[in-house]
Amino acid sequence: MDLTTLERLPLWIGGRAVPAHTTRYGEITNPATGEVLRHVPLADADDISAAASAAVAAFPAWRASPPLRRARILMRFRDLMETHKKDLARLVSQEHGKTLVDAEGSITRGIEVIEFATGIPHLLKGEFSDNVGTEVDSFSLREPIGVCAGITPFNFPAMVPMWMFPIAIACGNAFILKPSERDPTMSLRMAELLREAGLPDGVFNVVHGDKEAVAAILAHPDIKAVSFVGSTPVARYIYQTGTHNGKRVQALGGAKNHAVVLPDADLGFAAEALIGAAYGSAGERCMAVSVAVAVGDVADALRDALAQRARRVTVGPGDRAGSEMGPVITCAARDRIVGLIDKGVEEGATLVIDGRKAHIAGHEAGFFVGPTLFDDTRPEMAIYREEIFGPVLIMVRVESLEEAIHLINTNPYANGAALFTRSGYAARRFQREVEVGMVGINVPIPVPMAFYSFGGWRNSLFGDLHVHGMDGVRFYTRGKAVTARWPDDGSAAPGFHMPTMG
């Protein structure tokens, strides 16, 4: 299917592209030009039911297939993703706006989760105890849950779905993906490649849509588990509604990631790292650094180093050679970000670099905001309290490492935090005392590799388990313990008392 020429995207149900039942459609826009690329169906409850029925029908045979067979299909899928990586990156860049290099990097990070999932025969191994009582053995299993759903954000249309479905299907589940309606085409390409890799029909399904589709997923009795990544208010709603309806839910929310720079840090290295972490992907990363915390007398030098580098960032369409930062996702997102910059000025922060009037020749209708830098930000200001999710870096000045840690620990978000220092003592103290899910030491965006788990604390994650790594395997399976004896006569029949194995 050549998706790029389609006027209206289909859904993917039961191993094939099908037209949606809904009559509601949304627009998919190229953020670099403002042009409408194609239309996306906004699924209704009937569409969700059709996907759930296909997944329910596929589940028993898929669950019964040996994990090694499932792993081999994923190995083929991994190779296909690698083969098509350049084209896939082009699609991500076209609908999202990020640069081609960045899009390719995000696909690589997703492929790493597939690679982790191909180890599923090993990852699913249980425990076995011989003779827990006389001639009684015990062992534990991890079994799939059934039909699982993933609801994902616009900012990583390839990687975030890949945090979820490779592990879910490797564990023997069927999966329904509801990608962001802003850049959903990548999900259909992954469905096609999964089919080409040999995945049985119905094991992976894609439904497009907005809150109506999400409400139908949360209400559907055949969907047993929901993984969500997106903003905090929606994450909270999904966790509360999904668990109320008896589902297992992990819901990752928004972020406000701080990077603390101590006076002993290598300033050039720290400033370079912060620029990439703040403005890469136009700041639309849940692990973007959005707050630089300058400790003590490093502040003036840090501001100058950041300003000097921020001015050199090349802004342009994602597919133009040399672009380091593309547009933001929609016109509404640009207006919201510009509104927050206005508010920062009103509330008295010092605007060091102003990106509100970014002008990209030939792309006047694109949704561009230039790199923006604030200094003298205080915690009560809107630009500190709210997740801006755009290319805006704010500096907060504090006197000590303790004050920096206190600032981070009292922020409602708790995804990631980083420290720049040459002191092992300070680093060890920071990594132990800071209350967030992911910590970087001289690493600005500490996104754990696929074989570790990814997730935040407080308002950055609702639920108990993080995504991918072993938490992913735990989330998509449930435990079972078997206690067995095989007597060859009736002499060992259980009595009426509480059995003990002594």
Query: Considering the rule CB under 6 A, would residue 191 count as an interface residue with ligand NAD?
Result: no
Provide the total of helices (H) and of strands (E) in the chain, helices listed first.
16, 22
CB of 116 to ligand NAD, least distance (A): 17
Burial class (CB in 10 A: 0-12, 13-18, 19+), 334: buried
x-or-dash string of contact with ligand NAD, 225-264, rule CB under 6 A: ----xxx--x-----------------xxxx---------
CB of 95 to ligand NAD, least distance (A): 12
Of the residues 153, 242, 391, 444, which one makes contact with ligand NAD according to CB under 6 A = 153
CB of 20 to ligand NAD, least distance (A): 15
Query: Considering the rule CB under 6 A, would residue 29 count as an interface residue with ligand NAD?
Result: no
Of the residues 44, 102, 387, 471, which one makes contact with ligand NAD according to CB under 6 A = 387
Query: Considering the rule CB under 6 A, would residue 405 count as an interface residue with ligand NAD?
Result: no
* Interacting residues of 394 by C-beta distance below 8 A, sequence separation 6+: 290, 291, 292, 344, 349, 373, 374, 375, 377, 383, 384
CB of 489 to ligand NAD, least distance (A): 58
Query: Considering the rule CB under 6 A, would residue 415 count as an interface residue with ligand NAD?
Result: yes
Task: Tell me how far apart the terminal alpha carbons of the chain are, to the nearest angstrom.
Answer: 65
x-or-dash string of contact with ligand NAD, 446-465, rule CB under 6 A: ----------x---x-----
Three-class DSSP category at 488 = coil
CB of 78 to ligand NAD, least distance (A): 22
Specify the length of the chain in residues: 502
Q: How many residues sit in the footprint of ligand NAD (CB under 6 A)?
A: 27
* 171 carries an active-site annotation: no
Query: Considering the rule CB under 6 A, would residue 290 count as an interface residue with ligand NAD?
Result: no
Of 362, 325, 329, 357, give the one whose Cα is nearest residue 342: 357
Query: How big is the CA angle at 164 (ends 456 and 274), to the nearest 5 degrees?
Result: 45
Of the residues 55, 286, 381, 401, which one makes contact with ligand NAD according to CB under 6 A = 286
Which sign, positive or negative, has the C-alpha torsion 325, 327, 332, 337? Answer: positive
| Residue type at position 18 | V
Query: Considering the rule CB under 6 A, would residue 155 count as an interface residue with ligand NAD?
Result: yes
Reading the block at residue 268, the tokens are 């050039």
117 versus 333: smaller Cβ distance to ligand NAD: 333
Of 312, 276, 269, 270, give the one whose Cα is nearest residue 293: 270
Note the maximum CA span of the chain.
Answer: 89
Which sign, positive or negative, has the C-alpha torsion 220, 224, 230, 231? Answer: positive
CB of 480 to ligand NAD, least distance (A): 30
Query: Considering the rule CB under 6 A, would residue 180 count as an interface residue with ligand NAD?
Result: yes
By annotation, the residues acting in catalysis are: 286
Residues that bind ligand NAD (CB under 6 A): 151-156, 160, 178, 180-181, 210-211, 214, 229-231, 234, 252-255, 286, 387, 389, 415, 456, 460
